[in-house]
Amino acid sequence: MITQDSIRLSDDNQSYIINGDRYVRMTQVLDVLPKPYLDVWRAKIGNEEADRIVRETSDAGSLVHLVTELY
């Protein structure tokens, strides 16, 4: 059974330790994939607007993580 006490972030913040087993963070898995569509998207809307959207969605994602942790 997984409980809040059995989950922690690794010392290097690169993975989760769950019941003693290491799991790579999804962000790290996705970081290795090429994303040429993001360059197209940025070119279409401009860097300033893209940066604004990235900040906004990052804040929303952080909130989802926080709510999940609190649950």
Instruction: Say if CB 39 and CB 26 are below 8 A apart.
Output: no
Nearest to 20 by CA among 4, 7, 33: 7
Which residues 6+ apart lie within 8 Å of 2 measured at CB? 18, 19
Instruction: Say if CB 6 and CB 16 are below 8 A apart.
Output: no
Residue pLDDT, tens place only, 59-68: 888 888 788 8
User: Residue 32 in 3-state DSSP?
Assistant: coil
**pTM score of the predicted model:** 0.55
**What backbone torsions phi and psi does residue 11 show, to the nearest 5 degrees?**
-60, -30
Instruction: Check pLDDT > 70 for residue 39.
Output: yes
Instruction: Check pLDDT > 90 for residue 51.
Output: yes
